[in-house]
């Protein structure tokens, strides 16, 4: 191992142990920001759903731990790791990441709320109107960053997601409290917030607004100090000493869909799919490792549409793909491609 890589690996472990001391479960990451350890079941002839029950490392975010001995063991098994991921949605913090991206979206400039949010309705019981100074902390910086890249090149796209968050805050009457902010090498930023233990926040990509991704249960954030192919993730000045702040209630309602009502007397209709149908395709996607994820997802989606299960399996296949490391946006694009191919006359 080169001296530079060895130093990066040593620093990654040190940063990961520091995060673990704060109660944040961590895993080693490669320079590509993916889990550094491959699945121990990658060569299994049959798709196997395992979240670490086998006792071996290599299950992505399910390996995450705040135990120093376990963290050291994970990094010892992946000496090439130059970064670390912090699992979201896990006790004690139940971390939620607000990822303000710098990639332009086709509908940038339009900031609709998610489909399950009350359109234009201010939530009762929220705090006073947003404080403009609180949002000054979210504004993209200009000039030259520590990595040497000009922030001016990304200021327009970065401001799109920042403006989208400001718009939502004004519309739904909430403010972002002082909290940990991590600057990404591409000019974006991650806001660290916490959710109540009983609230499950799902991962999403641009569902809240263009350029805003949410990292929740089953997802992870790249930790500050991590070295990636794009550069180093750093804590924004003045925020390193802070603890992740509670997510404002109004924002939490936007990113956590309401629980579906349960009706014990409901009975499946005559055309309802039998329980378990299509689960094999979902398991096939879950067993994918790096280099196979899109291929397996595309194959499974094609089979689903060929057998008339496409619409019913879109969400389960998307969730499975996200758990393997794809973003929701990537997964849904792949499934849409499979749908077009399979339903073409």
pLDDT truncated to tens, each residue of the chain (345 aa)?
A: 566 678 889 999 999 999 999 999 999 999 999 999 998 888 777 656 687 888 899 999 999 999 999 999 999 999 999 999 999 999 999 999 999 987 544 444 443 433 333 222 222 222 333 343 443 344 433 333 333 333 333 344 445 888 889 999 999 999 999 999 999 999 999 999 999 998 889 888 888 888 999 999 989 999 999 999 999 999 999 999 999 999 999 999 999 866 444 444 444 444 334 345 678 888 888 887 766 788 889 888 888 888 888 888 999 999 988 888 888 888 898 898 888 876 653
Domain boundary among 30, 56, 87: 87
Judgement on whether residues 305 and 184 belong to the same structural domain of the protein = no
**Tokens encoding 260:** 């579906």
> Would 265 be classed as within a structural domain?
no
Residue 125 C-alpha from the chain's centroid: 29
Judgement on whether residues 79 and 109 belong to the same structural domain of the protein = no
**Tokens encoding 52:** 């670490």
Instruction: State the Cα–Cα distance between residues 242 and 73, nearest whole angstrom.
Output: 28
User: What strands lie across the sheet with 220-222, from one edge to the other?
Assistant: 26-29, 83-87, 220-222
In the chain the beta strands, taken as DSSP E runs, fall at 26-29, 83-87, 95-100, 181-183, 189-194, 204-209, 212-215, 220-222, 227-228, 231-232, 234-235, 245-246
Judgement on whether residues 170 and 240 belong to the same structural domain of the protein = yes
Judgement on whether residues 115 and 214 belong to the same structural domain of the protein = yes
> Would 269 be classed as within a structural domain?
no
**Tokens encoding 226:** 């991590």
Q: What angle do CA 302, 58, 68 make, to 5 degrees?
A: 145
Judgement on whether residues 231 and 99 belong to the same structural domain of the protein = yes
pTM (2 d.p.) = 0.64
> Would 235 be classed as within a structural domain?
yes
Judgement on whether residues 189 and 103 belong to the same structural domain of the protein = yes
CB 44 within 8 A of CB 287: yes
Judgement on whether residues 251 and 284 belong to the same structural domain of the protein = no
Judgement on whether residues 248 and 145 belong to the same structural domain of the protein = yes
CB 277 within 8 A of CB 216: no
- Residue entry with tokens 């912090």: 86
Judgement on whether residues 124 and 13 belong to the same structural domain of the protein = no
Judgement on whether residues 34 and 56 belong to the same structural domain of the protein = yes
218 pairs with which residues across the strands?
none
Instruction: State the Cα–Cα distance between residues 138 and 149, nearest whole angstrom.
Output: 19
Element (H, E) at 71: helix 68-77
Judgement on whether residues 77 and 102 belong to the same structural domain of the protein = no
Domain boundary among 87, 106, 126: 87
Count of the separate structural domains present in the chain: 3
Instruction: State the Cα–Cα distance between residues 31 and 36, nearest whole angstrom.
Output: 9
Instruction: State the Cα–Cα distance between residues 337 and 231, nearest whole angstrom.
Output: 32
Domain boundary among 220, 255, 290: 255
Handedness of CA 112, 255, 154, 167 (dihedral sign): positive
> Would 271 be classed as within a structural domain?
no
- Residue entry with tokens 């673990």: 20
204: containing domain: 95-255
> Would 273 be classed as within a structural domain?
no
Instruction: State the Cα–Cα distance between residues 191 and 102, nearest whole angstrom.
Output: 14
Judgement on whether residues 101 and 245 belong to the same structural domain of the protein = yes
């Amino acid at each position: 191992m080169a001296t530079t890589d060895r130093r990066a690996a040593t620093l990654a472990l040190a940063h990961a142990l520091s995060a673990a001391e704060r109660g944040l479960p961590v895993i080693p990451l490669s320079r590509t920001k993916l889990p550094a350890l491959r699945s121990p079941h990658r060569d299994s002839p049959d798709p196997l759903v395992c979240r670490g029950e086998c006792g071996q490392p290599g299950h992505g975010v399910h390996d995450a731990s705040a135990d120093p001995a376990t963290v050291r063991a994970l990094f010892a098994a992946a000496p090439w790791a130059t970064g670390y991921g912090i699992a979201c949605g896990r006790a004690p913090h139940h971390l939620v990441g607000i990822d303000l991206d710098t990639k332009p979206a086709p509908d940038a400039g339009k900031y609709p709320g998610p489909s399950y949010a009350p359109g234009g309705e201010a939530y009762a019981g929220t705090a006073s109107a947003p404080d403009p100074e609180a949002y000054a902390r979210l504004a993209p910086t200009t000039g030259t960053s520590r990595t040497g890249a000009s922030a001016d090149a990304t200021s327009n796209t970065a401001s799109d997601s920042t403006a989208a968050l400001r718009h939502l805050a004004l519309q739904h009457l909430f403010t972002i409290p002082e909290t940990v902010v991590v600057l990404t090498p591409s000019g974006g930023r991650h806001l660290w917030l916490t959710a109540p233990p009983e609230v499950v926040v799902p991962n999403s990509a641009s569902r809240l607004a263009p350029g805003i991704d949410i990292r929740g249960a089953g997802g992870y954030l790249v930790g500050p100090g991590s070295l990636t192919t794009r550069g180093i993730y750093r804590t924004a000045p003045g925020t390193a000493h802070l603890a992740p702040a509670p997510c404002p209630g109004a924002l939490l309602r936007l990113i956590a869909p309401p629980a579906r009502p349960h009706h014990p007397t409901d009975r499946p209709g005559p055309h309802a799919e039998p329980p378990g149908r299509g689960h094999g395709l979902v398991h096939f996607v879950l067993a994918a490792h790096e280099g196979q994820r899109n291929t397996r997802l595309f194959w499974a989606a094609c089979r689903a549409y060929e057998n008339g299960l496409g619409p019913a399996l879109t969400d389960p296949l998307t969730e499975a793909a996200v758990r393997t490391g794809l973003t929701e946006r990537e997964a849904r694009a792949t499934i849409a491609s499979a749908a077009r191919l399979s339903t073409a006359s």
